[in-house]
Structure 1
Amino acid sequence: MLNILYEDEAILVVWKPVGMESQSARGFQADMVSEIRRYLSTKNREDNHNLSTKSTEPYVGVIHRLDKPVSGVMVYAKEKKAAAALSKQVSEGKMHKKYLTVLCGKPVDNVEKYVDYLLKDEKENVSRIVDMGIKGGKRAELICRALETKEIPPYGQLTLAEIELLTGRHHQIRVQMSGHGMPIWGDNRYNPEFSQRQPAEPGTRIPRRALRTDVALAAFELTFTHPVTGKQLTFRQNPSGGIFRQFGAFPS
């Protein structure tokens, strides 16, 4: 069932769960576009008070994306004009996202700014940090704010952190934090050591399922300008599952 944070005639703001594609998926995999389209179709039939009425397939405009293992707040457009206006905000850097993550390790300072150059390998669908000037390398910037650090056996020192993206690159947060020695908990792609760890011992309150499937990264805040009213909107929701349960210092 969709977790709807806001809806009007032009847009729909939802919480994307872990494990679901943010755009149309191949085959029979679940994806947000299909779920939203199904919801809108049902809603339209109910609004018409006639379940037998056939209508055109609802429009669902994809504005931005989140990786499949990442949860978070997302906005979708219900009409083409709204989609164009929101997409323009993305391209102009006027749509802002903040993330919460759990890092393996602890930043040297409570607030750190990281500037790197990332190169995407299209064939392998991964990115890596390269030297400035390397062909294809794109500048990547983010700000990391440490919120809480705890010693959690058997993982050692873990840090709940808020990440503010200043650029939007492929797998940016996952690549940069790994490159700076603080890979994200649960990220088997950029934290290869994690996949070799043993499941948590009973009594640690860390779900075994989370060890295998959850990447501790969530887009908890999204700010943009409404495409029709021009009003600035901010939506927030803190993650509550997996390793996030071990922390309490979430932004208020």
Structure 2
Amino acid sequence: MSSTDARDDLAILFQDDHLLVLNKPSGIPVQDDQSGDTSLMAIVKDRLPKGPVGLVHRLDRPVSGAVLMTLSREAEKAMHEAFRDGRVDKRYLAVVHGRPVDHFVLEHRLVHDKRRHRARIGSGDEGRLVRLHGRVVRTGERYSLVELVPEEGAFHQIRAQLAAAGHPIKGDVKYGARRGERDRSIALHASWLRFDHPVAGLPIEVVVPPPISGIWSLFGPIGRIEGQGRSDYRNGRQRG
């Protein structure tokens, strides 16, 4: 995707004086990297040259969906703390190979291999203990649409854990998918964010449907997933 296409394709999901939530298309890096391609941060800073734009979480380049940025120092500090303390609810949709069980919890020890720029499953006590909660939303002949809630948000956590469970994400050849996509995207989408506003204190909820093309189209229109934002996978509480 060219820098011009990226600017044209960038949808604002929420914006006020303190926060900005964007729908990142796949293929755009969130921040500048060695590729030299235009990043999401660069686009935002170009549009808002006078403001202190802060990045408080990230999505991998081939992933699409909601990215939260801050537009004030007060919000940046508060949102960093909110992410660190687990007070931001994040959900993802993915199209995976095969048919997982209806509800699942994956638990692994994850090692960040910085030399190979990937995560791998550790052996014994090696690595960080991570958990990924999921449920099957819809099924097809060869693929399933799943909703996912990672507890930790570790580097490549969702991608590595699904691959280890035998259900790699469609297009994710780095983690076991049979074939990549022409645009190098993978079928992983950050579909939902909920958090308390860092200044006003009011609850903010952002729902982002996945792309309507490619493998996603096999499952028909995907809006708000039934039950999304109500069940708390991590402790069994009902929220909403």
Asked if Structure 1 and Structure 2 have the same fold, meaning a TM-score greater than 0.5 normalized by the shorter chain, the answer is yes
Q: Is the 8 A contact 2:170 2:177 kept in 1?
A: no
CA distance in 1, matches of 2:177, 2:94: 17
Equivalent of residue 247 in structure 1, options 215, 219, 222: 219
Equivalent of residue 91 in structure 2, options 85, 98, 101: 98
> Matched residue pairs, number?
215
RMSD: 1.6
CA distance in 1, matches of 2:19, 2:154: 25
Q: Is the 8 A contact 2:27 2:183 kept in 1?
A: no
Alignment of 1:104-119 (within 5 A): 104-107=97-100, 109-119=101-111
Identify unmatched segments of 5+ residues in structure 2: 1-7, 227-240
Helix, strand or coil for the counterpart of 1:194? Answer: coil
Alignment of 1:50-69 (within 5 A): 57-69=50-62
**TM-score with structure 2 length normalisation?**
0.85
Identity over aligned pairs, percent? 31
CA distance in 1, matches of 2:15, 2:175: 35
1:58 Cα shift? 2.6
Q: Is the 8 A contact 1:186 1:211 kept in 2?
A: no
Alignment of 1:147-166 (within 5 A): 147-151=137-141, 157-166=142-151
CA distance in 1, matches of 2:32, 2:76: 16
The one-character-per-residue Cα deviations of 1:163-188 (angstroms, maximum 9, x if unpaired) are 11112111001000000000000001
Alignment of 1:26-41 (within 5 A): 26=34, 28-41=36-49
Q: Which has the larger radius of gyration?
A: 1
1:74 Cα shift? 1.2
Which consecutive aligned stretches of 4+ in structure 1 deviate over 6 angstroms post-superposition?
Answer: none
Q: Does 2:162 align with 1:177?
A: yes
1:212 Cα shift? 4.9
1:25 Cα shift? 3.4
Question: Where does residue 208 of structure 2 map in the other structure?
Answer: 237
Equivalent of residue 131 in structure 2, options 132, 136, 141: 141
CA distance in 1, matches of 2:177, 2:140: 22
Letter in 1 for 2:128: K
Helix, strand or coil for the counterpart of 1:238? Answer: coil
1:99 Cα shift? 0.4
Question: Where does residue 84 of structure 1 map in the other structure?
Answer: 77
Q: Is the 8 A contact 1:147 1:249 kept in 2?
A: no
Question: Where does residue 72 of structure 1 map in the other structure?
Answer: 65
Q: Is the 8 A contact 1:185 1:191 kept in 2?
A: no
